[in-house]
Amino acid sequence: MSGFGNEFSSEDPRCPGSLPEGQNNPQVCPYGLYAEQLSGSAFTCPRPANKRSWLYRILPSVKHKPFTSVPCGDLTENWNEVEPDPNQVYQHKESLRFPSFSGLHTLCGAGDAKSRNGIGVHVYTCNTSMVDRCFNNSDGDFLIVPQQGEILITTEFGKMMVEPNEICVIQQGMRFSVDVFGETRGYILEVYGAHFELPDLGPIGANGLANPRDFLCPVAWYEDRKVPTGYTVINKYQGKLFACQQDFSPFNVVAWHGNYTPYKYNLKNFMVINCVAFDHADPSIFTVLTAKSTRPGVAIADFVIFPPRWGVADHTFRPPYYHRNCMSEFMGLIKGHYEAKEEGFQPGGASLHSIMTPHGPDVDCFEKNSTAELKPQRVAEGTMAFMFESSFSMAVTKWGLHTCQKLDKNYYQCWEPLRSHFNPNWKPGKQ
Ligand SMILES: O=C(O)Cc1cc(O)ccc1O
Ligand SMILES: [Fe+2]
């Protein structure tokens, strides 16, 4: 079903009439189902921010054995594992290989799930599907960016196939299980305490960027499957993992309605706005989704992409400018190569330019584009880079810094050969 944050209704076609009519809590639900509300916002949130869905299921989620603690692997919310490092940049130049790492690995983040304010950036690698096990994040929302391998996500709301160049969002508390079809890798932006929204468009007008109709959510699908050997529900709670057993599949929702759902979006549908006269526009023009903080205009995290487009700016240095930013910039690459780095950034790699860390085009990019003929040109053709931009000052984890062994200690060298072009005898009009 299409639309961003709509009030959807869905019934598994095997059970027509399973959605109660005219009320949420009939004394007895059609087909003998249990009614369960999943609240994604405080009951009392103003209407535009109020999120909830009603699930009509064969057994309620509450029927499970107690949760017990399980190992977290490389998933962490401890931002004090390593000393803060004001050094220039961190870059994972190469992508993570298989099968040396599997599961979720936290690269960086800040804030905490207990006070419901912060983010985590994780990467996942896997080559086997989840069998009789599902995941549920009590701490926040997952924005999943597949980089290699499609993932079939089964949720309580139905199934979604998500392939590289698509993204999906599984919001807080939604149970999901993932099937993979080979070596699979991607990035996850976790946000505690806010849901993703479409950015306001301001003077752009009523249309553009990511259009609401291009967001897709699943249709109801259920299985009435007993699992006598035990079905495991993994719960991420206050930064740690817990597991509980139940003897049936949690994907037993026959019908549901509401505006709190998982969803996916194909990045090829992004309607790109760009400069058509001169100068380089800030990358906020490429914001797909934003998780707003309480400060006006300041995001907990924005999801920004660098899609294929035309570069036409006159008398302009067209690639990204040199800059220092009061926001943190985590970047990843789904395919192709990134325009500001001639080489050095491979698909599946990542970089973090921390708050006020200077960065910008490498020397080759600067030299080439300072003299390039400024004809209309396709930019980023066949590529897709993205940025998680956050107002949080992120810490890198021990895994990100050491364990994964992908840190490029020489990254700073891509700027070392930058030389002065200063000419004190320069005269206006003569160059
Ligand atoms: O640093 C980066 O590569 C991301 C970025 C791109 C851009 O076009 C302008 C600013 C910015 O931070
Ligand atoms: Fe930047």
* Dihedrals phi, psi of 321, to nearest 5 degrees: -80, 165
For ligand 1, atom 9, the nearest C-alpha belongs to 320
Q: How far is the CA of 303 from the centre of ligand 2 (A)?
A: 13
Nearest atom, ligand 1, residue 325 CA: 12
**Binding-site residue set:** 323, 329, 338, 359
Q: What is the pLDDT of residues 276-325, one digit of tens each?
A: 999 999 999 999 999 999 999 999 999 999 999 999 999 999 999 999 99
Q: What is the pLDDT of residues 101-115, one digit of tens each?
A: 668 999 999 999 999
- Pocket mutation for ligand 1, best pick of 89, 286, 306 (most atoms within 8 Å of C-beta): 306
Structural domain tally of the chain?
2
Provide CB contacts within 8 A for 14, sequence distance 6+: 222, 254
For residues 176 and 305, membership in a common domain is answered with no
Dihedral sign of CA atoms 421, 425, 427, 431 in order: negative
Ligand nearest to the CA of 361: 1
SS3 at position 225 = coil
Range of the domain at 290: 270-407
Nearest to 386 by CA among 101, 87, 86, 186: 186
Nearest atom, ligand 1, residue 359 CA: 1
For residues 75 and 223, membership in a common domain is answered with yes
The pLDDT of residue 389 is above 80: yes
For residues 142 and 203, membership in a common domain is answered with yes
What is the average pLDDT across 90-99?
64
For ligand 1, atom 7, the nearest C-alpha belongs to 320
**Binding-site residue set for Fe cation:** 323, 329, 359
For residues 163 and 87, membership in a common domain is answered with yes
Q: How far is the CA of 333 from the centre of ligand 1 (A)?
A: 13
Beta-ladder partners of 333: 385
The pLDDT of residue 430 is above 80: no
Q: What is the pLDDT of residues 222-252, one digit of tens each?
A: 999 999 999 999 999 999 999 999 999 999 9
Q: Please report whether residue 106 resides in a domain.
A: yes
The pLDDT of residue 37 is above 70: yes
- For all residues of the chain together, what is the average pLDDT? 94
**Ligand 1 contacts CB of residue 283 (under 6 A):** yes
Ligand nearest to the CA of 331: 1
SS3 at position 62 = coil
Q: How far is the CA of 307 from the centre of ligand 2 (A)?
A: 16
Task: Give whole-number Cα distances, 119 to 53, 140, 205, 211, 236, in Å.
Answer: 24, 9, 30, 25, 14
Provide CB contacts within 8 A for 147, sequence distance 6+: 95, 164, 185, 186, 187, 332, 333, 334, 335, 347, 348
**Ligand 1 contacts CB of residue 329 (under 6 A):** yes
- Pairing type for strands 226-237 and 133-137 reads parallel
Q: Please report whether residue 33 resides in a domain.
A: no
Q: Are 107 and 186 in contact (CB under 8 A)?
A: no
Q: How far is the CA of 329 from the centre of ligand 1 (A)?
A: 8
Find tokens 């994040």 and name the residue: 137
Nearest atom, ligand 1, residue 360 CA: 1
Nearest to 118 by CA among 131, 105, 109: 109
Q: Please report whether residue 336 resides in a domain.
A: yes
The pLDDT of residue 332 is above 60: yes
**Ligand 1 contacts CB of residue 362 (under 6 A):** no
Q: Are 262 and 160 in contact (CB under 8 A)?
A: yes
For residues 209 and 144, membership in a common domain is answered with yes
Q: How far is the CA of 329 from the centre of ligand 2 (A)?
A: 6
For residues 300 and 237, membership in a common domain is answered with no
Q: Please report whether residue 328 resides in a domain.
A: yes
**Ligand 1 contacts CB of residue 387 (under 6 A):** yes
For residues 371 and 247, membership in a common domain is answered with no
Amino acid, single-letter form, for residue 410: N
Q: Please report whether residue 15 resides in a domain.
A: no
For residues 70 and 140, membership in a common domain is answered with yes
Q: Which residues of 115-149 are buried (b: 16+ CB within 10 A; e: fewer)?
A: eebbbbbbbbbbeeebeebbbbbebbbbbbbbbbb
Q: How far is the CA of 59 from the centre of ligand 1 (A)?
A: 49
Provide CB contacts within 8 A for 195, sequence distance 6+: 40, 41, 51, 141, 171, 172, 291
In angstroms, rounded to a whole number, what is the distance separating the alpha carbons of residues 43 and 409?
A: 49
**Ligand 1 contacts CB of residue 320 (under 6 A):** yes
Tell me, what's the pLDDT at 98?
57
Structure tokens at 116: 């419901």
**Ligand 1 contacts CB of residue 340 (under 6 A):** yes
For residues 245 and 302, membership in a common domain is answered with no
Q: Please report whether residue 34 resides in a domain.
A: no
The pLDDT of residue 344 is above 90: no
Tell me, what's the pLDDT at 33?
98
For residues 219 and 117, membership in a common domain is answered with yes
| CATH number of the domain where residue 305 is located | 2.60.120.10
For residues 368 and 283, membership in a common domain is answered with yes
For residues 298 and 191, membership in a common domain is answered with no
For ligand 1, atom 6, the nearest C-alpha belongs to 320
- Peptide bond before residue 99 is cis, with ω within 30 degrees of 0: yes
In angstroms, rounded to a whole number, what is the distance separating the alpha carbons of residues 102 and 96?
A: 10
Name the pTM for this structure. 0.96
Q: What is the pLDDT of residues 144-176, one digit of tens each?
A: 999 999 999 999 999 999 999 999 999 999 999
**Could you say which DSSP state residue 2 is in?**
B
Provide CB contacts within 8 A for 401, sequence distance 6+: 82, 85, 90, 407
**Ligand 1 contacts CB of residue 359 (under 6 A):** yes
Tell me, what's the pLDDT at 59?
98
Sheet strand arrangement including 90-92: 90-92, 350-353, 328-335, 384-390, 299-306, 287-292
Report the greatest alpha carbon distance in the chain. 87
Q: Which residues of 77-94 are buried (b: 16+ CB within 10 A; e: fewer)?
A: bebeeeeeeeeebbbbbe
Q: Which residues are catalytic?
A: 280
Q: Please report whether residue 76 resides in a domain.
A: yes
Nearest atom, ligand 1, residue 389 CA: 12
Q: Please report whether residue 117 resides in a domain.
A: yes
What would the DSSP string read from start to end of 130-148? --SEEEEESS-EEEEEEEE
Scanning 154-199, the segments in alpha helix (DSSP H) are none
